[in-house]
Amino acid sequence: MTVENLKKILAAGEGIGIEFKESKDSLPENVFESVCAFLNRVGGDLLLGVKNSGKVIGIDSEKIDKIKTDLVNLSNNPNKLDPPFMIFPEEFTVGGKKIIYVRVPQSSQVHKSGRFIFDRNEDGDFKVTSSAAISRLYQRKSAWFTENKIYPFLRFTDFNEYVFRKVRNLIQSHRPDHPWLTISNEEMLRSAGLFRRDFETGKEGYTLAAAILFAKDDVLQQIVPAY
Protein backbone atom coordinates (compact mmCIF):
# COMPACT_ATOMS: atom_id res chain seq x y z
CA MET A 1 0.00 0.00 0.00
CA THR A 2 1.17 3.55 -0.79
CA VAL A 3 -0.03 6.96 0.34
CA GLU A 4 -1.25 7.66 -3.20
CA ASN A 5 -3.37 4.51 -3.19
CA LEU A 6 -4.71 5.43 0.25
CA LYS A 7 -5.82 8.79 -1.13
CA LYS A 8 -7.72 6.97 -3.87
CA ILE A 9 -9.47 4.82 -1.25
CA LEU A 10 -10.35 7.95 0.74
CA ALA A 11 -11.73 9.60 -2.38
CA ALA A 12 -13.80 6.53 -3.27
CA GLY A 13 -15.59 6.64 0.09
CA GLU A 14 -17.20 3.94 2.17
CA GLY A 15 -18.86 1.01 0.47
CA ILE A 16 -19.00 -2.76 0.46
CA GLY A 17 -15.19 -2.97 0.34
CA ILE A 18 -14.17 0.18 2.25
CA GLU A 19 -14.75 1.14 5.90
CA PHE A 20 -13.60 4.25 7.80
CA LYS A 21 -13.47 4.54 11.60
CA GLU A 22 -12.44 7.56 13.68
CA SER A 23 -10.30 5.85 16.36
CA LYS A 24 -8.72 9.04 17.69
CA ASP A 25 -7.12 7.53 20.78
CA SER A 26 -8.45 3.97 21.14
CA LEU A 27 -9.65 1.00 19.14
CA PRO A 28 -13.35 1.34 18.17
CA GLU A 29 -15.53 -1.23 19.93
CA ASN A 30 -17.12 -2.37 16.67
CA VAL A 31 -13.93 -2.66 14.62
CA PHE A 32 -14.01 -6.46 14.63
CA GLU A 33 -17.56 -6.45 13.35
CA SER A 34 -16.14 -4.83 10.21
CA VAL A 35 -13.17 -7.20 10.08
CA CYS A 36 -15.56 -10.13 10.45
CA ALA A 37 -17.86 -8.80 7.73
CA PHE A 38 -14.98 -8.30 5.30
CA LEU A 39 -13.70 -11.83 5.97
CA ASN A 40 -17.16 -13.25 5.34
CA ARG A 41 -17.83 -11.23 2.19
CA VAL A 42 -15.10 -10.37 -0.36
CA GLY A 43 -12.47 -8.65 1.80
CA GLY A 44 -11.92 -4.93 2.09
CA ASP A 45 -9.89 -1.92 3.17
CA LEU A 46 -10.19 -0.71 6.77
CA LEU A 47 -8.88 2.77 7.67
CA LEU A 48 -8.68 4.05 11.25
CA GLY A 49 -8.36 7.76 11.95
CA VAL A 50 -10.89 8.72 9.28
CA LYS A 51 -14.46 10.05 9.58
CA ASN A 52 -17.31 8.35 7.73
CA SER A 53 -17.20 11.23 5.26
CA GLY A 54 -13.60 10.37 4.34
CA LYS A 55 -12.08 13.31 6.20
CA VAL A 56 -8.76 12.36 7.80
CA ILE A 57 -8.74 13.35 11.47
CA GLY A 58 -5.72 11.27 12.44
CA ILE A 59 -4.80 9.18 15.47
CA ASP A 60 -3.01 10.42 18.58
CA SER A 61 0.69 9.69 17.98
CA GLU A 62 1.07 8.52 21.58
CA LYS A 63 -1.76 6.00 21.18
CA ILE A 64 -1.16 4.62 17.70
CA ASP A 65 1.28 1.87 18.72
CA LYS A 66 -1.14 0.56 21.34
CA ILE A 67 -4.01 0.59 18.86
CA LYS A 68 -1.95 -1.44 16.38
CA THR A 69 -0.94 -3.88 19.12
CA ASP A 70 -4.56 -4.24 20.24
CA LEU A 71 -5.63 -4.95 16.67
CA VAL A 72 -3.11 -7.75 16.30
CA ASN A 73 -3.67 -9.28 19.73
CA LEU A 74 -7.46 -9.16 19.59
CA SER A 75 -7.54 -10.65 16.08
CA ASN A 76 -6.20 -13.77 17.79
CA ASN A 77 -8.86 -13.64 20.53
CA PRO A 78 -11.83 -15.91 19.69
CA ASN A 79 -14.10 -13.69 21.78
CA LYS A 80 -13.45 -10.93 19.25
CA LEU A 81 -12.95 -12.98 16.09
CA ASP A 82 -13.84 -16.65 15.81
CA PRO A 83 -12.05 -18.40 14.26
CA PRO A 84 -9.10 -16.03 14.75
CA PHE A 85 -7.50 -14.45 11.70
CA MET A 86 -4.13 -12.70 11.75
CA ILE A 87 -4.18 -9.14 10.41
CA PHE A 88 -1.27 -6.75 9.84
CA PRO A 89 -2.06 -3.06 10.50
CA GLU A 90 0.14 -0.51 8.73
CA GLU A 91 0.79 3.08 9.80
CA PHE A 92 0.73 5.94 7.27
CA THR A 93 0.83 9.72 7.35
CA VAL A 94 -1.74 11.48 5.17
CA GLY A 95 -1.92 15.27 5.18
CA GLY A 96 0.36 15.37 8.21
CA LYS A 97 -1.94 13.07 10.22
CA LYS A 98 -1.34 9.47 11.21
CA ILE A 99 -3.81 6.77 10.21
CA ILE A 100 -3.86 2.97 10.34
CA TYR A 101 -4.59 0.86 7.27
CA VAL A 102 -5.59 -2.82 7.35
CA ARG A 103 -6.16 -4.92 4.27
CA VAL A 104 -8.63 -7.66 5.22
CA PRO A 105 -8.80 -10.51 2.70
CA GLN A 106 -11.74 -12.74 1.94
CA SER A 107 -11.61 -15.80 4.18
CA SER A 108 -12.40 -19.38 3.28
CA GLN A 109 -14.15 -19.75 6.63
CA VAL A 110 -17.25 -18.22 8.21
CA HIS A 111 -16.28 -15.92 11.09
CA LYS A 112 -18.11 -14.52 14.10
CA SER A 113 -17.45 -11.43 16.20
CA GLY A 114 -18.76 -11.88 19.69
CA ARG A 115 -21.67 -14.29 19.29
CA PHE A 116 -22.76 -13.07 15.87
CA ILE A 117 -21.91 -13.62 12.23
CA PHE A 118 -21.51 -10.36 10.29
CA ASP A 119 -21.74 -9.76 6.57
CA ARG A 120 -21.29 -6.67 4.43
CA ASN A 121 -23.27 -4.62 1.93
CA GLU A 122 -23.01 -1.09 0.51
CA ASP A 123 -24.45 0.36 3.73
CA GLY A 124 -21.91 -1.31 6.02
CA ASP A 125 -21.86 -4.27 8.40
CA PHE A 126 -24.94 -6.22 9.39
CA LYS A 127 -25.71 -9.23 11.59
CA VAL A 128 -26.65 -12.47 9.88
CA THR A 129 -29.30 -13.99 12.12
CA SER A 130 -31.67 -16.11 10.05
CA SER A 131 -30.89 -19.80 9.61
CA ALA A 132 -31.43 -19.52 5.86
CA ALA A 133 -28.97 -16.63 5.48
CA ILE A 134 -26.35 -18.40 7.60
CA SER A 135 -26.79 -21.55 5.53
CA ARG A 136 -26.34 -19.57 2.29
CA LEU A 137 -23.14 -18.04 3.64
CA TYR A 138 -21.68 -21.46 4.45
CA GLN A 139 -22.75 -22.80 1.07
CA ARG A 140 -21.11 -19.86 -0.69
CA LYS A 141 -17.84 -20.47 1.14
CA SER A 142 -17.95 -24.19 0.34
CA ALA A 143 -18.56 -23.46 -3.33
CA TRP A 144 -15.65 -21.01 -3.56
CA PHE A 145 -13.05 -22.77 -1.45
CA THR A 146 -11.73 -26.33 -1.29
CA GLU A 147 -8.87 -25.65 1.11
CA ASN A 148 -11.06 -26.53 4.11
CA LYS A 149 -11.21 -30.18 3.04
CA ILE A 150 -10.25 -32.27 6.06
CA TYR A 151 -7.59 -34.99 5.86
CA PRO A 152 -8.15 -37.06 9.03
CA PHE A 153 -4.98 -39.11 8.57
CA LEU A 154 -2.69 -36.13 8.00
CA ARG A 155 -0.46 -35.93 11.10
CA PHE A 156 1.53 -33.15 12.68
CA THR A 157 4.67 -35.19 11.96
CA ASP A 158 3.90 -34.76 8.25
CA PHE A 159 4.68 -31.04 8.49
CA ASN A 160 8.01 -29.36 7.77
CA GLU A 161 9.64 -27.84 10.87
CA TYR A 162 11.66 -25.46 8.68
CA VAL A 163 8.46 -23.84 7.37
CA PHE A 164 7.27 -23.20 10.92
CA ARG A 165 10.56 -21.43 11.67
CA LYS A 166 10.12 -19.26 8.57
CA VAL A 167 6.57 -18.36 9.59
CA ARG A 168 7.67 -17.46 13.12
CA ASN A 169 10.49 -15.29 11.76
CA LEU A 170 8.00 -13.50 9.51
CA ILE A 171 5.62 -12.87 12.41
CA GLN A 172 8.52 -11.73 14.59
CA SER A 173 9.60 -9.19 11.97
CA HIS A 174 6.08 -7.75 11.67
CA ARG A 175 4.77 -8.08 15.22
CA PRO A 176 7.30 -9.20 17.87
CA ASP A 177 4.57 -9.23 20.54
CA HIS A 178 2.14 -11.39 18.58
CA PRO A 179 0.59 -14.11 20.79
CA TRP A 180 1.31 -16.82 18.22
CA LEU A 181 4.99 -16.50 19.13
CA THR A 182 4.23 -17.80 22.63
CA ILE A 183 2.34 -20.97 21.66
CA SER A 184 3.38 -24.29 20.13
CA ASN A 185 3.27 -25.01 16.42
CA GLU A 186 0.32 -27.35 16.90
CA GLU A 187 -1.57 -24.67 18.82
CA MET A 188 -0.75 -22.14 16.12
CA LEU A 189 -2.28 -24.38 13.44
CA ARG A 190 -5.47 -24.73 15.46
CA SER A 191 -5.59 -20.99 16.13
CA ALA A 192 -5.23 -20.33 12.40
CA GLY A 193 -8.20 -22.61 11.64
CA LEU A 194 -6.01 -25.21 9.91
CA PHE A 195 -7.32 -28.01 12.13
CA ARG A 196 -11.08 -28.37 11.80
CA ARG A 197 -14.00 -30.55 12.78
CA ASP A 198 -16.92 -31.13 10.44
CA PHE A 199 -19.98 -30.99 12.66
CA GLU A 200 -22.07 -32.78 10.05
CA THR A 201 -19.84 -35.84 9.62
CA GLY A 202 -17.81 -35.74 12.84
CA LYS A 203 -14.60 -35.93 10.80
CA GLU A 204 -11.73 -33.86 12.16
CA GLY A 205 -8.13 -33.22 11.21
CA TYR A 206 -5.75 -30.92 9.39
CA THR A 207 -7.01 -29.24 6.24
CA LEU A 208 -5.81 -29.07 2.67
CA ALA A 209 -4.66 -25.51 3.41
CA ALA A 210 -2.47 -26.83 6.24
CA ALA A 211 -0.95 -29.37 3.87
CA ILE A 212 -0.25 -26.81 1.15
CA LEU A 213 1.36 -24.41 3.62
CA PHE A 214 3.28 -26.75 5.92
CA ALA A 215 3.50 -30.34 4.64
CA LYS A 216 6.79 -31.97 3.73
CA ASP A 217 7.35 -32.21 -0.01
CA ASP A 218 6.77 -35.96 -0.27
CA VAL A 219 3.54 -35.70 1.73
CA LEU A 220 2.22 -32.80 -0.34
CA GLN A 221 2.97 -34.63 -3.60
CA GLN A 222 0.77 -37.50 -2.45
CA ILE A 223 -2.10 -35.18 -1.50
CA VAL A 224 -1.84 -32.75 -4.42
CA PRO A 225 0.27 -34.29 -7.20
CA ALA A 226 0.14 -31.02 -9.19
CA TYR A 227 2.33 -29.38 -6.55
- CATH topology classification for 3-113: 3.30.950
**Is residue 206 within 8 Å of residue 194, measured between CB atoms?**
yes
pLDDT at 143: 66
Q: Model's pTM, two decimal places? A: 0.67
pLDDT over 70 at 227, yes or no: no
Tens digit of each residue's pLDDT (9 = 90 or more) over 89-144:
999 999 899 999 999 988 888 999 998 999 999 888 999 999 999 988 888 887 66
141 or 158: whose pLDDT is higher?
Answer: 158
Tens digit of each residue's pLDDT (9 = 90 or more) over 48-76:
999 999 999 999 999 999 999 999 889 88
Tens digit of each residue's pLDDT (9 = 90 or more) over 4-16:
899 999 999 999 9
Q: Region of 202 please: left (phi>0), alpha (psi -120 to 50) or beta.
A: left
Sign of CA dihedral 53, 54, 56, 59: positive
Distance CA 68, CA 88 (A): 8
Give strand pairing partners of 20: 47
Q: For CATH 3.30.950.30, list the domain ranges present in the chain.
A: 3-113
Calculate what percentage of the chain has a pLDDT beyond 90: 56
